[in-house]
Structure 1
Amino acid sequence: MRDQKAAFAAAASTVVGQPAEDVASLIEYPPQRDLGDLALPCFRFAKTLRMSPQDIAARIAQALEGRPEFASAAVVGGYVNVKVAREHAATMAVRQIRADFEAFISRQRLRGHRAAIDYSSPNIAKPFGVGHLRSTMIGQSIVRLLQMDGCETVGINHLGDWGTQFGKNIAAYLKWGDEETVRRDPVRELLKLYVRFHEEAKVDPTLDEEGRAWFKKLEDGDPQAVALWQWFIDESRKVFDQTYEMLGVKFDYYLGESFYNDKMQPVVDELRERGLLTVSEGAEVVDLSAWNMPPCIIVKSDGATIYATRDLAAALYRHDVLGADRLIYVVGAEQSLHFAQVFKVLELMDRPWAKDCRHVAFGMMKYNGERLSTRRGKVVYLEDVLQQAISEARKIIEAKNPSLPDKEAVAKAVGVGAVVFNDLKNYRMHDVDFRFEDVLNFDGETGPYVQYTHARACSVLRKAADQGCALPEEVHFTEVGDLEWAVIHQLNQANEVLERAVDELDPSLIARFTLDLCHTFNRFYHDVPVLGADTEAVRMQRLALVDACRIAIARTLYLLGLEAPERM
């Protein structure tokens, strides 16, 4: 309710003598609808103005008289409770949404900024498990949220393509692998070899030494090691890209850990020159005890660099080369300390943009209550989950709407949407227990429910067109009932929800808004005649409202990474 809040705050600011923007931040939604649509508590102004809150509220109410945005203003205790002029608000909201939804929802607060978002980041030669869904889709949604708020974005897939594990992968493949078998199903076969390696190493510890030796060869550029490593990357990328295509996810850059191999020494050199490195148990570290953190290891006792060194190099590259002034890392909550250390070291390196580095933590993905583990072979392949969801959607379509055009595309949109929405509707810091019966339940607060509501709105508009009822570009509301107003009131909160979602980097706020809008729209659809309205003018108003809802649902689905089928 951006416009109404702005008008309310502008009038109130003339009374209280504070900037309208500050006053706007204090405006609330009353707990009961019959109290009004907006409320301003006046208690904090009393001391400065040397007036009672009730007297201040009365003066503000008087200042609101005659404003076209408001139907009434009442003093209740120390509050000014305002009822919005429904017809005016409905006309303005529907007009703006139908003309330009982005302008309606966004103030473009981040125009001129460029953010690098690090998300998904699966490990090469490991499966793209259902656990990777969280980083992938939270990250994709954050990219779109930032873009909607005016920010230029750089999406980065920081592939796990370096480390001792690749020595183990190479050793396992050379001992037990078969090229033809691996080529048929690369990632799954390489996982089997990796799991076998760890099981055999429990009995024969020399295997771990062999794995380390092969990684040393890889570091030294051994042709056989490098060729196998590159093959693992190429085959893994093919499999990952199939999953990304199903999810509709794209990146601007695939920059794996190995990309920064030649960029770490300058980081170490700078830290030494600045006197930030100290020796601890043979390792070189940055002492962070003054900030109640353990030391940040930069060079291990054996001379090797570590994750923090690599992430420091990556941060400098993303800022200095890619031109990002904001760095965002969509990585599980278990890495919170690591990123706190990295950001603090960047600050100690006198990088002022360190304050604009954000770790977007999220809770763990479990499967039927159990923690997933690649090393133990406890993996649920995301592609299998998506295919099963698509198959389930296909069955429902065949049972309920067998003549639906383009059934396969709709089944994919609905099946994938079910999996993605099931994740994103949860507050990102909560753990998610993945259960097929929940994900594939297409009733209730689900992606298919939201998609079906969009298709329902499209159906109403198609029926209107079939009856020769063309929607005019401009509609002026002359009457707005309670159910229509409930929809308008919900739509008018879109901007606030977007800004909160961007500020908190949490797509679940958009998912909740979309669900609430769909619930409100469906009550309106069931109880208010649209095509059967009493007059042509009212029918036009209601059809325009349906059209505005269609646009809003489609665009919020897009922000979450879901498609919006027009028929289901």
Structure 2
Amino acid sequence: MPYKHKIAEQIAQVVNLDLATVTKMLETPKDQKMGDLAFPCFQLAKTLRKAPPVIAADVAAQLTPALQEAGVPVSNLQVVGAYINFFLDQQAVARDVITAVLTQGENYGAQDLGGGAHVTIDLSSPNIAKPFSMGHLRSTVIGNALANLLEKMNYSPVRINHLGDWGTQFGKLIVAYKLWGSEEAVRENPIPELLRLYIKFHEEAKAHPELEDQGREWFKKLEDGDADAEQLWQWFRDESLQEFNKTYELMGIKFDSLHGEAFYNDKMDRVVNELEAKGLLVEDEGAMVVKLDEYDMPPCLIKKSDGATLYATRDLAAALYRQDTYKFTKALYVVGNEQRLHFRQVFKVLEKMGYEWAQEMHHIPFGMMLKDGKKMSTRKGKVILLDEVLQTAVDDVKKVIAEKNPQLENQDKVTEQVGVGAIIFHDLKNYRMNDINFSWEEMLTFEGETGPYVQYTHARANSILRKAGYVENTAVTLPEGALEGPESWAVVTLLLNFPHVIKRAADEFDPSVLGKYIIDLAQAFNKFYANVRVLAEDEAVKQARLQLVAATAIALKEGLRLLGLEAPAEM
């Protein structure tokens, strides 16, 4: 059903341009009265040496029989100035689209672009012994949605939670625990207690700077394999993961790998040795670096003057390990925008090492989650905990459902699906590069452009089908007038675009492309339902309209699933 492609093929033959150029030139008019597609002829004026309106008329005259012969369902061609406007045959298109959605079900929109190849996705990656804050939400939900979208394109995503489980902060935490902590308090409430100790360390260190030295000493012990330090580190890690997993479970997110920073401790020598062997490692003010002058970038630090390795060394080791393990076609790093330079440096170092696959490594940056317009800080205790936000959202939904639909079955499950969905969707409907200001009011509003609105629309479509006693039927026949009118056509054209939207969201690594689309589809469907009598007296007309409702429900459910949301059948 790629009508745009078929129309572009016919235009390309008539105007003697390549298919890619014609496809780019084809536009979708903002006003439906101007057709479903439009082709501007201004660009042809130079080569054909005619006025664009004359060219448009000539091309249209040749296209009419060509389109008919090729079986492209165009009901009308109009020349308006320099534009050729194409009006699709609404009956034929509606029949094709609804048939495709009902036949393919949740597979509608799937495309074999990846051939099953692996794509590693570095996402979430919270710091051990610190709370899972709203600041971590973005990497988690964007990364998970991208994994789902790429899976739809027949890639095999490898979801990697590159945990922040190494570094000087663990030395500080060990010091804080030994001075002010208790095993009982940590076991009872792991993350809040470890956070309290972490914050207390920084407060006390202002008056007692020697604490910083003690923190560094304990981290050195940890690096050297001290049994006491290792035991505490492992315990902090296990307790933290147990807590994190509750949040991941609530959000329906699973990982294929939990290898964090510590996993690469014994894999960094390989990087240093290889860089030395390839003559890429040079000394700079006592440190060992890889120069990147030719890319107008500062040098990439590999080893500090005291011999300690850095984040870049670790990320290089991780990239080599992942390529060896997964043979990835692409590697994505869903990490905040402030790390842009770091990843540019890492990718260029890998290229200089001679690894061609480095060209398929992509940093997927995103804006910050702000509180009162400012970045959140764990160290200063200015943090909003994600599990608290999720629980508050669930509690709010519970109140609404208890009031509006107290007889609803599986109330607890549905309130969880809608509450969690509200938080995820609030993030993913925004272009990922935009900063998002944390706001209870905006996040938990269940009207307008929200997850609950889309979920409710899906539930409403299912309710219509249940009440009508609809029986699944993939044989679509459209009686005259069954789906005429702008409201029906708006839904049909959006369903037609579903595969294109998914591909674009995957290509651009931007789930908001799909987020905006399902809002549009939900709004178009509600307008259709408000203006068209679905349960018509004529049985054939009623059946056709119910099939459009069923197709919409399928697309909404699959769109929500790709973004990481559930789609309750009742609300």
Asked if these proteins are the same fold (TM beyond 0.5), I'd say yes
Change (3 A) 1:137 1:181: same
Contact 2:121 2:160 in 1 (8 A): yes
Query: Are 2:399 and 1:395 aligned?
Result: yes
Tell me whether 1:476 sits opposite 2:480 in the alignment: no
CA deviations 1:196-235 (Å, max 9, x no partner) are 1111111111111100110110011100000000000000
Counterpart in the other structure of 1:451: 455
Q: What residue number does 1:498 align with?
A: 502
| SS of 1:493 mapped into structure 2 | helix
Partner of 1:556: 559
CA distance in 1, matches of 2:75, 2:346: 54
SS of 1:138's equivalent?
Answer: helix
Mapped to 2, the partners of 1:210 and 1:369 lie a distance apart of 35
Which residue does 2:9 correspond to in 1?
10
What is the CA–CA distance in structure 2 between the aligned matches of 1:317 and 1:388, rounded to whole Å? 40
CA distance in 2, matches of 1:442, 1:103: 29
Choose the corresponding residue for 2:148, options 140, 144, 150.
Answer: 144
Is the contact made by 1:69 and 1:89 (CA closer than 8 Å) also made in structure 2? yes
Contact 2:111 2:152 (8 Å CA) reproduced:
no
Aligned residue number for residue 170 of structure 1: 174
How many pairs were matched up?
Answer: 563
Aligned to 2:468, what secondary structure does the other structure show? Answer: helix
Maintained 8 Å contact 1:137/1:420: yes
**Correspondence 1:567 to 2:556:** no
Question: In the alignment, what sits opposite 2:548?
Answer: 545
State how far apart, in whole Å, the 1-side matches of 2:8 and 2:200 are: 66
Quote the offset at 1:80 in angstroms: 1.9
Q: Distance in 2 between matches of 1:163 and 1:57?
A: 67
Match of 2:366 in 1: 362
- The Cα offsets for residues 418-446 of structure 1, whole Å up to 9 and x where unpaired, read as 11111111110000011111111111111
Name the structure 2 match of 1:436.
440
Pair 1:264-2:265 in alignment: no
Matches within 5 A, 1:240-251: 240-251=244-255
Aligned to 1:217: 221
Counterpart in 2 of 1:229? 233
Q: Aligned partners of 1:87 and 1:145: how far apart in 2?
A: 31
Identity %: 51
Offset at residue 26 of structure 1 (A): 2.7
- CA gap 1:60/1:45 in 2 versus in 1, 3 angstroms: farther
- 2:36 maps to 1:32: no
Partner of 2:133: 129
For 2:193, the equivalent position in structure 1 comes to 189
In 2, distance between residues paired with 1:49 and 1:12?
15
Deviations 1:232-288 (A, max 9, x none): 000000000000001000111101001111111111111111111111110011111
Correspondent of 2:82 among 48, 67, 78 = 78
Shift of 1:527: 1.1
- CA–CA distance in 2 between the matches of 1:149 and 1:175? 53
Q: CA deviation at 1:51?
A: 5.9
Q: Deviations over 1:17-61 (max 9, x none)?
A: 344454333321012111111112233345456665323344234
C-alpha distance after superposition, 1:134-171 (max 9, x if no partner): 00000000000101111111000000000111111111
Q: Which amino acid in 2 is paired with 1:15?
A: V
From the superposition, tell whether residues 47 and 103 of structure 1 become closer, same or farther in structure 2 (CA, over 3 Å).
farther
Find the counterpart in structure 1 of residue 417 from structure 2.
Answer: 413
Cα offset for 1:324?
A: 1.0
Report if aligned partners of 1:158, 1:254 keep a CA contact under 8 Å in 2. Answer: yes
Change (3 A) 1:134 1:345: same
Deviation string 1:381-424 (CA, Å, 9 cap, x unpaired) is 11111011000000001001000000000000010011111111
1:368-387 to structure 2, matched below 5 A, reads 368-387=372-391
Identify if the C-alpha distance between structure 1 residues 235 and 103 changes in structure 2 by more than 3 Å, giving closer, same or farther: closer
2:242 to 238, 241, 261: 238
Gaps of 5+ in 2: none
Q: Secondary structure at the match of 2:2?
A: helix
Question: Offset at 1:518?
Answer: 0.3
Measure the CA separation in 2 of the matches of 1:20 and 1:123: 49
Structure 1: which amino acid aligns with 2:432?
R
SS at match of 2:195: helix
Q: Kindly indicate whether the alpha-carbon contact (under 8 Å) linking 2:271 and 2:317 is maintained by their aligned counterparts in 1.
A: yes
Superposition pairs of residues 110-129 of structure 1, within 5 angstroms? 110-129=114-133
Q: Which digits, 9 at most, give the CA deviation of each residue in 1:453-508, with x for residues without a partner?
A: 0000000000011xxx5343211223332211111011111122112111110111
Partner of 2:489: 485
- Which one-letter code corresponds to 1:453 in the other structure? T
After TM superposition, the structure 1 stretch with the greater mean CA deviation from structure 2, 414-423 or 47-56, is 47-56
- For residues 103-151 of structure 1, give each alpha carbon's deviation from its aligned partner in whole angstroms, at most 9, with x where no partner exists: 5423322224310000000000000011111000000000001011111
In 2, Cα distance between the equivalents of 1:99 and 1:108?
18
Cα deviation, residue 296, structure 1: 0.6
Secondary structure, aligned partner of 1:123 = coil
1:366-395 Cα shifts (integer Å, max 9, x gaps): 123332100111121111110110000000
Residues 502-530 of structure 1 deviation map (CA, whole Å, 9 limit, x = unaligned): 11101111010000000000000111111
Contact 1:41 / 1:79 at 8 angstroms: preserved in 2? Answer: yes
**Quick one: which amino acid aligns to residue 155 of structure 1?**
R
* Cα distance in 2 between the residues matched to 1:58 and 1:345: 57
Cα deviation, residue 289, structure 1: 1.9
Structure 2 letter corresponding to 1:399? E
The equivalences for 1:78-97 within 5 A come to 78-97=82-101
CA distance in 2: counterparts of 1:68 and 1:350, whole angstroms: 49
Residues 284, 298 of structure 1: 8 Å contact kept: yes
Checking the alignment, whether the CA contact within 8 Å between 1:61 and 1:80 is kept in structure 2 is no
Separation (CA, whole Å) in 2 of partners of 1:68 and 1:267: 57
Specify the alignment match of 1:525 in structure 2: 529
CA contact (8 A) 1:61 1:75 kept: no
Moved more, 45-54 or 188-197: 45-54
Tell me the secondary structure at the aligned position of residue 25 of structure 2. coil
Letter in 2 for 1:25: K
Greater shift, 392-401 or 52-61, is seen at 52-61
Structure 1, unpaired ranges of 5+: none
**Distance apart, 1:99 and its partner CA:** 1.1
Q: Deviations over 1:179-211 (max 9, x none)?
A: 001110111101111111111111111111100
Using a 3 Å threshold, how does the CA distance of structure 1 residues 507 and 283 change in structure 2: closer, same or farther?
same
d(CA) in 1 for partners of 2:182, 2:9: 73
Matching residue's letter, 2:9: A
Relative to structure 1, the CA distance from residue 549 to residue 561 in structure 2 (aligned partners, 3 Å threshold; closer, same or farther) is same
Separation of aligned partners in 1, 2:508 and 2:312: 25
1:303 offset after TM fit, Å? 0.3
8 A contact 2:118–2:326 mirrored in 1: no
Check the 8 A contact 2:251/2:420 in 1, yes or no: yes
Aligned to 2:539: 536
Which residue of structure 2 aligns with residue 334 of structure 1? Answer: 338
Task: Name the CA distance, whole Å, in 2 between partners of 1:413 and 1:431.
Answer: 25
SS in 2 for 1:115: strand
Query: Does the CA-based 8 Å contact 2:106-2:555 persist in structure 1?
Result: no
Say which of 289, 293, 297 aligns to 1:289.
293
**Inter-partner Cα distance in structure 1 for 2:457 and 2:178:** 54
